[in-house]
Structure 1
Amino acid sequence: LRLIRTLATPGAIPILHPAIMREISFWLLSGENGNEVCKLALPDSHTRRVAEAIYLLRGNFTYAVRVEKLAAAARMSPS
């Protein structure tokens, strides 16, 4: 909410944005799901690979997406 409120004062954005983003990151990583959030940032984690496949689905939800393409996005086998 504080981050959105900075839009009303554009001059404050360059000063407050880094601190607010750092605080949001802290709360995300130190919360009960922080471990899972951290895995999203690791390039070769299973969670990150599945997230990439989900991203592909979201970007192409109006089209048929082949399992092979999803598997490639997640760096997994089609099976």
Structure 2
Amino acid sequence: MPRYHRPERAVAVDESVSWVVVDEDFGSQVEACAYLAGVRGAGRAFNTEKTYAGRIALYLSYCRGHGVDWPGTRSLRRLR
């Protein structure tokens, strides 16, 4: 299965590290990034954020590869 989305490690100017989901053109996937920011803001472990980023990217790639419109952030909230 092709990977249309993938997790990426993002380093801010203050050198803090977070995880984002990008497409093949390195455009960020807004809803996924917002969800991951919420995970980070809730004080979850760094590895939890990293794992969620990978699984969300895989899910979005699956949806795109199968022509499925993904249901949005409501489905992502159920992953917590």
Structure with the greater alpha carbon radius of gyration:
1
TM-score using structure 1 length: 0.33
Structure with the largest fraction of helix: 1
TM-score using structure 2 length: 0.32
**Relative contact order, higher structure (CA 8 A, sep 6+):** 2
Structure with the largest fraction of strand: 2
